[in-house]
Amino acid sequence: MELTRNITLGVYLPGDTTIHRLDPRTKISAAMVLLALLFFIKTYTAFVFFAAFMAALVLLTRIPVKYVLSGLKPMLPVLLIMWLCQLFLQKPPGSEIIFSLWIFKASDAGLRLGTLMSIRVILLYLVVTVLTMTTSLVELADGAEALLKPFRKIGVPSQELAMTGIIALRFVPTLAEELEKIVKAQMARGVAFDRGNFIQRTAKIFPVLLPLFINAFKRGEELITAMEARNYTGGSGRTKMKVLKMCRCDAGAFIVLFIFAAGMVALIVMVGPPY
């Protein structure tokens, strides 16, 4: 038994492509704009353009397409169920029944909405994946912190939030290792995690969860003391060793993004859905 086997959080694949070299602030803002657009797209045509844009981005990152799409595998069963639900349950006024299976009647609206929804989820996954595969966690935290900085004035603790994120990430392997040791220690006292009915197995989580939480709290306390000893007094007044600097490719990226977004908005407004 080896719990740390498959711990890979936010799989980052280092590279030197244009996308990799973009400032994280550019990438995060672009991702947010694209995600927002996705929620307003309701026609196949618009999706085709969006998908083409995403395809171009994926190719630019030079990450093997097969690897990118492999992340979709665990989602497929869920997607299928959602598609079937839409197909058989959506019956907005003006829709027609296209076929029926036993007692279930599929409408053309259901088919359309179901398919569009599935495409939306897949494209959502692609946007997030392109972001996380080309931006390291540290860059993401730095980018988020920088983007949230203007909001400090209204009380948003931008530095503290970003740092909390980084600390959590830095402890992931440490905690995974600790979890493994705790499980082994309790196994050594006869706790059989693979036996018993559902309720019994759920109860077995306490000998593992309690030490984990208690130790996590102790760690937190010690960490705070160490941080205080290094003069940490919160996010105000801090400088950063790595200063984020935008360059020409960021300007170029923003221009491309703007044109694409403008085009999408136009499409959405002009070519409305039938329902």
Q: In angstroms, give the least distance from the CB of 62 to another protein.
A: 19
Binders of another protein in range 110-149 (CB under 8 A): 137-138
CB of 181 to another protein, least distance (A): 5
Query: Is residue 248 near another protein by the rule CB under 8 A?
Result: no
Closest CA to 123 of 54, 49, 39: 54
Quick one: 14 or 272, whose CB is closer to another protein? 14
Q: Is 51 in the site for another protein (CB under 8 A)?
A: no
Q: What is the dihedral of CA 48, 67, 19, 75, to 10 degrees?
A: 50
Using CB under 8 A as the binding rule, whether residue 197 contacts another protein is answered as: no
Can residue 228 be called a binding residue for another protein (CB under 8 A)? Answer: yes
Q: What is the dihedral of CA 133, 138, 143, 146, to 10 degrees?
A: 170
Helix (H) or strand (E) holding 226: helix 206-229
**Closest among 38, 64, 34 to 119, alpha carbons compared:** 38
Could you say whether residue 192 binds another protein (CB under 8 A)? yes
Give dist(CA 98, CA 209) in Å, integer.
Answer: 52
> CB–CB of 117/102 below 8 Å?
no
255 binds another protein, rule: CB under 8 A: no
Among 103, 154, 199, 243, binds another protein (CB under 8 A): 243
Q: Are the C-beta atoms of residues 119 and 51 closer than 8 Å to each other?
A: yes
**Residue 225 touching another protein (CB under 8 A):** yes
Under rule CB under 8 A, residue 49 binds another protein: no
Q: Which residues bind another protein (CB under 8 A)?
A: 1-2, 5, 137-138, 163, 166-167, 169-174, 178, 181-182, 184-192, 195, 206-207, 210-211, 214-215, 218-219, 222-223, 225-233, 237-243
